Every structure is written in structure tokens, then in C-alpha cells.
């Protein structure tokens, strides 16, 4: 029999979620096993239907299902609707609620790791893919003052800016050339990389969206790339005198947000981080 809480994706072998989620459940004395379900796209609908069963609590949703599950749930939260992706499904008395915790996960990571509240900040987000979308929405809800979206393909940055423009909140879209970035990056106190630049094993592992000479010493630099832990971008932020913060925290805090909504309890954050760190060290 399947458990009442877990993560589903395909492939799923690499996920560390069960390790830190289980540590959290154990610490709170919740008698459940956090499982990992390898679900093929063609089996997704059947799997989601089982989430309505009595006793089922919640499922974390990862690649490639975050969009495909949208029509399969009964209700979307505002975050899921705005981001256009569901990364948690909660069973509320047989009704499935699709939610997105990447936004609050990111804000919490910024606060816990860098003590930074984006309210009133001038921010630059590099990239315009799925991760950028969640972060732009998060920064909008957090009340940033000014937001620039910089992307290699400027049309995508513009489309993202248009999607979230509302009232006084009007993100600026720009390309990623040095010239273009020099109009925004030096004045930003928050820089967030969501591009794949710097990713281990990728074609641009030694690349960075911005260099130290352009980055303000007052800036917090957050990298959604979490492998390696210290990317080229974060080293540039550090060299500029700014504060580097890394992507693993966003990943864990999206999970912690989901854990808290699933259990209705405050997560034992330190225990969950310790469990993950131990697992990463032992490979």
C-alpha cells in the first residue's frame, strides 16, 4: 500500500526530498512514510486520482509534472495560478488543492540565509524561464520597488514582465549584454540568477550573468543554481563585497512550506536541514 505523503516525478531517483521530509515527520512524531513515486506522464491522471482517498495528506510534484497536473486538481491557489505551475497538491476532504510553494520558499530562503526582505528593494532577475516566473511573482508579492528581468532572449523577458505588470508594478525587460546590464545591475540591492549559467555539468559552468566590477557592495546575490554550491556568480557577488546566498535553501524551503501546509504544524527546520546535509555529504 502506498503512503499518504510523498513526492512524484519522473525520473525520481535523484530526489533528496524524502530524506529531509522524513526527518521532519519523525521529529514531530507523525507516523507516516514520505515516499518517492516514479510516475510516467501516461500514469499521472490515475496517480492523482488516488490523492483524493481518505487519509491521503499531500504530494510534492516535481519535473515533468508541474504543469500537467493543473487540470487534474479541483482548485488552484493564487500562487499556483500566477506561476502557472503546481509543486504541491493537498487533499482537503477529497478536494485536491494545487499550490506553488516556490515563491514563499524563495522569500523564506532569502530571509533565513541573508536576512533580506525584498520590500522596497531594487532587484534584477536573470532569466525568464519557469524558475524566474516563480521568483518574479514572489518579488511582486513581497513589494519590491523596482524589478528588471534580464534575459538572453529579450522577448521572453518582455513577455514575463507583461504578465506581471499591474498598477505601479511594471518590471523592465532587458537583454544580457554588458552594456544593457550596466544600466541596472550596479543599482540593484538584490540580484537573482535563474539562468543555467554556472550549473555543474552544463555548457556554461564557468559563466556568470554579471561580474564583480558591476555588482554593488550592498547587494545580496541569490543563485537558484545549487550545484556547485558556490557558483561563479556567487563568487563575483562575494568579490564585490556583497552577500552570496545559494539555491539549495530555496529547494528545501519550498519543501518546508509544503510540509507545514500538509501537517498544519511548524516544521523543525534545523532537523530537516541537518538530515539533508548529512545525506549530501554521504553522497
Instruction: Provide the minimum distance between the beta carbon of 207 and ligand ATR in the complex, in angstroms, as a whole number.
Output: 7
Question: Catalytic annotation on 66?
Answer: yes
CA–CA distance from 107 to each of 28, 47, 59, 84 (Å)?
24, 31, 22, 18
List 16, 47, 54, 66, catalytic entry: 66
Which strands, in side-by-side order, build the sheet including 75-76? Answer: 34-38, 5-9, 58-61, 88-92, 95-99, 75-76
Close Cβ partners of 54 (under 8 Å, ≥ 6 residues apart): 94
How much of the chain is in helix, strand and coil states, percent to nearest 5? 40, 20, 40
At its nearest, how many Å lie between ligand ATR and the CB of residue 197?
5
Residues facing 8 on adjacent strands:
37, 61
Count interface residues toward ligand ATR (CB under 6 A).
16
- Compare residues 221 and 268 and give the one whose CB is closer to ligand ATR: 221
**CB 132 → ligand ATR: shortest distance, Å?**
6
The verdict on 208 binding ligand ATR (CB under 6 A) reads: no
Select the residue interacting with ligand ATR from 204, 217, 230, 280 (CB under 6 A).
Answer: 204
Name which position in 33, 153, 162, 266 contacts ligand ATR (CB under 6 A). 153
Taken as a whole, the chain contains a residue count of 283
Between CA 252 and CA 51, with CA 103 as vertex, the angle to 5 degrees is 70
Which residues between 155 and 194 bind ligand ATR (CB under 6 A)?
156, 176, 194
Query: Can you tell me which of 104, 151, 216, 249 binds ligand ATR, judged by CB under 6 A?
Result: 151
Report, in Å, the least distance between residue 248 CB and ligand ATR: 15
Taking CB under 6 A as the rule, does residue 231 contact ligand ATR? no
Helix residue ranges per DSSP H, 84-230 = 102-114, 130-142, 154-164, 178-181
Site string for ligand ATR, 100-139 (x = CB under 6 A): ---------------------------xxxxxx-------
CA separation for the pair 231, 249 (Å, rounded): 14
Give bridge partners of residue 150 from the DSSP assignment: 126, 174
Question: 129 or 186, CB closer to ligand ATR?
Answer: 129
Q: Which residues form the interface with ligand ATR (CB under 6 A)?
A: 127-132, 151-153, 156, 176, 194-197, 204
Amino acid at each position: 500500500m502506498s503512503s499518504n505523503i510523498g513526492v512524484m516525478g519522473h525520473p525520481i531517483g535523484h530526489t533528496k526530498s524524502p530524506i529531509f521530509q522524513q526527518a521532519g515527520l519523525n521529529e514531530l512524531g507523525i507516523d507516516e512514510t514520505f515516499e518517492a513515486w516514479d510516475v510516467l506522464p501516461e500514469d499521472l491522471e490515475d496517480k492523482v486520482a488516488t490523492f483524493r482517498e481518505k487519509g491521503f495528506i499531500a504530494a510534492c510534484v516535481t519535473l515533468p509534472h508541474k504543469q500537467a497536473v493543473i487540470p487534474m486538481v479541483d482548485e488552484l491557489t493564487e500562487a499556483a495560478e500566477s506561476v502557472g505551475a503546481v509543486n504541491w497538491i493537498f487533499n482537503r476532504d477529497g478536494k485536491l488543492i494545487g499550490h506553488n510553494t516556490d515563491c514563499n520558499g524563495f522569500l523564506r530562503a532569502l530571509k533565513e540565509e541573508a536576512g533580506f526582505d525584498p520590500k522596497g528593494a531594487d532587484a534584477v532577475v536573470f532569466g525568464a524561464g519557469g524558475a524566474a516566473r516563480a521568483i518574479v511573482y514572489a518579488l511582486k508579492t513581497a513589494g519590491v520597488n523596482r524589478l528588471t528581468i534580464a534575459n538572453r532572449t529579450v522577448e521572453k523577458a518582455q513577455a514575463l514582465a507583461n504578465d506581471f505588470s499591474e498598477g505601479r508594478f511594471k518590471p523592465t525587460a532587458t537583454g544580457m549584454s554588458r552594456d544593457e546590464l550596466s544600466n541596472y545591475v550596479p543599482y540593484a540591492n538584490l540580484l537573482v540568477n535563474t539562468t543555467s549559467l554556472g550549473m555543474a555539468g552544463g555548457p556554461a559552468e564557468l559563466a556568470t550573468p554579471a561580474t564583480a566590477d558591476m555588482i554593488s557592495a550592498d547587494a545580496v546575490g541569490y543563485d537558484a543554481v545549487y550545484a556547485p554550491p558556490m557558483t561563479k556568480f556567487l563568487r563575483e557577488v562575494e568579490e564585490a563585497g556583497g552577500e552570496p546566498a545559494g539555491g539549495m535553501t530555496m529547494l528545501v524551503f519550498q519543501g518546508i512550506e509544503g510540509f507545514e501546509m500538509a501537517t498544519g504544524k511548524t516544521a523543525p527546520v534545523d532537523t530537516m536541514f541537518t538530515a539533508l546535509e548529512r545525506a549530501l555529504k554521504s553522497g
